Structure 1
C-alpha cells in the first residue's frame, strides 16, 4: 500500500491527504479554542480531524520512506538530491510529531469542555442575593482549558508551519528536475 497505488508511486498521492487534513485540524482547533459558542455544535469535527490528520501524516511519512528506498535501490541518486530528500524527510518527521501532539491536546481540550458543559448543566440557579461561587473543580477545569487551549494554538501554528516547510521542500525536489 505504501509503495504503489495502481502502478503510481504512493507518496505523491498520499501526501495530499496530509496537506488537506493537517491544516484543517489546525484551523478547526484554533476556531474551537477561540470561538466558544461553536464548541458544542462542532466538537465532533475536531474529534474526527484529530483522528484522521495523524493517520494521514503517518501514511505520507511511511510512503515517503518507501519512495526513498526505491530511489536508493537504483543506485544513481546524486548527493545533492539525497541532501534535499533528507531535509524534506526531517521536516516531515517533525510535522508528524507536532500533528500527533496537536491531536492529543485538542482531544483533551474537547473532553475538558464537554465536562465543563456537563457540570454547568447540573448546577442549579444561583442563590438569592448573589452569584454562586464556582466550585474548586470548575476553577481547576477552567485553568486546564486555558493551558490546553494555549497548547492547541501553539501546536496548530507549528503543525501548519511544518506542513508548509515539508510541502515546500518536497515540491522543490519534484520540480527541480532531478
Structure 2
C-alpha cells in the first residue's frame, strides 16, 4: 500500500509539472530569448543578463542580471550579481542581491534589498521595502505600509499589527509615533 501511494504521488507530481510547464530545462537571455522557445518551465532555468518567462516551477538561476517571471513556485537564486523579479506571485524562496516582487509572495525573500508588495512569510535583508502587507521584516532598515513584526535598527510602517523591535521604531498607529527599543499598536 505504501509503495502504491508513493508511486501515485510521484506520478501526480510529474503529471502536474507536465500539464503546467512545457520544458524541463531552459536558457534565457535578452530580447525575450528562450531556448527552447517556450513561456513556461517545469524544472531548471538559467537566465543571463535578462530572462523572462510567464511561469516557472522549479529552480531559477539569474546570472549578471535579472530573472523575471509572472509566477514562480520554487527557488530563485541570484548568482554573480543576479536579481529576481516576480510580477504576480511567488511561492518558495528568493535568494539574491535584489529581490523584487510586485504581487504576492508566500515564503522567504533573502537578499541585500527586498522590494515587495504583500508577503506571507519573511523578508530578510539589509533593506526591506514593502508597499503592501508583510508578516515579518528582519533587516537593518524596514519600511512597509502594514506589518505584523519588524526587527531592525530602523523600523517604519503606517500600520503595525504586532510589534516593532529596534533602535528606532515608527508606526502611525503605534503606542508612540516613534519610540526606541519597542513599539506596538495602540
State if a TM-score over 0.5 links the two structures: no
Q: TM-score, normalised by structure 1?
A: 0.23
Q: Which has the higher strand share?
A: 2
Larger relative contact order, structure 1 or 2 (CA cutoff 8 Å, min sep 6): 1
Q: TM-score, normalised by structure 2?
A: 0.22
Q: Which has the higher helix share?
A: 1
